[in-house]
Amino acid sequence: MEYMEKQDMNQYETIVGMEIHVELATSSKMFCSCKNDPFGAPKPNMYTCPVCLGLPGALPVPNKKAIEWTIKLGLALGCEIQLYSKFDRKHYFYPDLAKGYQISQYDLPFCRNGLITTELGDVRIHRVHLEEDTGKLQHAMVDGKKVTLVDFNRSSVPLVEIVTEPDIHSGEQAKLFLKKLHQIVRYLGVSSADMEKGSMRLEPNISVRKIGERELPKYKVEVKNINSFNFVKRAIDFETKRHIELLEAGQMPKQETRGYVEGTSSTVSQRSKEEAADYRYFPDPDIPPIRLTEAYVTEIKKTLPELPDSKIERFMKEYGLSSDEAVHITDEKTGADYFESCVSLAQGSFETQNITPTIIARNLINVHEEEMSPKKRIDALLAKAQEKNVDAGVITVAVTLVLGQQTKAIADYKHGKLSALMFLVGMVKKELKGKGDAGIIEQELKKRLS
DSSP 35: B
Residue range at the interface with Zn ion (CB under 5 A); choices 46-54, 55-63, 295-303, 390-398: 46-54
Which among 19-27, 34-42, 175-183, 396-404 is the span making contact with Zn ion, rule CB under 5 A? 34-42
Selected binder of Zn ion within 9, 41, 46, 49 (CB under 5 A) = 49
In the complex with Mn ion, the residue whose CB is nearer, 129 or 258, is 129
**200-210 and 221-223: which strand pairing?**
antiparallel
Contact partner, 161, from Mn ion, Zn ion, none, Cβ < 5-8 Å per class:
Mn ion
Q: Which among Zn ion, Mn ion, none contacts residue 49 (Cβ within 5 to 8 A by kind)? A: Zn ion
* Range 197-216, binding Mn ion (CB under 5 A): none
Nearer to Mn ion, 60 or 357 (CB): 60
> Of these partners, Zn ion, Mn ion, none, which one is at the site of residue 237 (CB under 5 to 8 Å by kind)?
none
d(CA 109, CA 131): 10
65 vs 124, which CB is nearer to Zn ion?
Answer: 65
CB of residue 217 vs Zn ion: minimum separation in angstroms?
A: 42
Candidate list 20, 22, 24, 52; residue touching Zn ion; CB under 5 A: 52
Measured between alpha carbons, how far is 431 from 424 in angstroms, rounded to an integer? 10
CB of 52 to Zn ion, least distance (A): 3
Provide, rounded to whole angstroms, the least separation between the CB of residue 194 and Zn ion. Answer: 22
C-beta of 36 vs 267, nearer to Zn ion? 36
Report the residue number, 161 or 325, with the smaller CB distance to Mn ion.
Answer: 161
Per CB under 5 A, 161 contacts Mn ion: yes
DSSP state string for 216-258:
PPS--EEE--B--HHHHHHHHHHHHHHHHHHHHTT-PPP-EEE
What is the smallest separation between the CB atom of 153 and Zn ion, expressed in angstroms? 10
Given the complex with Zn ion, which of 11 and 45 has the nearer CB atom? 45
Distance from C-alpha of 210 to C-alpha of 331, rounded to nearest angstrom: 37
Residue 198 C-beta: closest distance to Zn ion, Å: 19
Decide if 228 contacts 244 (C-beta within 8 A).
no
Max distance between CA atoms of the chain, in angstroms, equals: 99
Interacting span for Mn ion (CB under 5 A) from 135-143, 154-162, 348-356, 424-432: 154-162
For Zn ion, the binding residue among 34, 300, 343, 390 (CB under 5 A) is 34
Provide long-range contacts, Cβ within 8 A and 24+ apart, for 247-251.
247/12, 247/208, 248/4, 248/8
Coil, strand or helix: which one is 372?
Answer: coil
In sequence order, the 6+-apart residues with CB closer than 8 A to the CB of 401 are: 431
Binding of Mn ion by 431 (CB under 5 A): no
Stretch near Zn ion under the rule CB under 5 A, chosen from 26-34, 251-259, 326-334, 370-378: 26-34
By 3-state DSSP, what share of the chain in percent is helix, strand and coil, each rounded to 5?
A: 40, 20, 40
- Nearest 5 degrees, angle CA 353-CA 356-CA 361? 140
Beta carbons within 10 angstroms of residue 194's beta carbon: 14
Q: Kind and range of the H or E element at 366?
A: helix 357-366
Residue 125 interaction partner, one of Zn ion, Mn ion, none, beta carbon < 5-8 Å per kind? none
Contacts to Zn ion by CB under 5 A: 32, 34, 49, 51-52
Contact positions vs Mn ion (CB under 5 A):
161
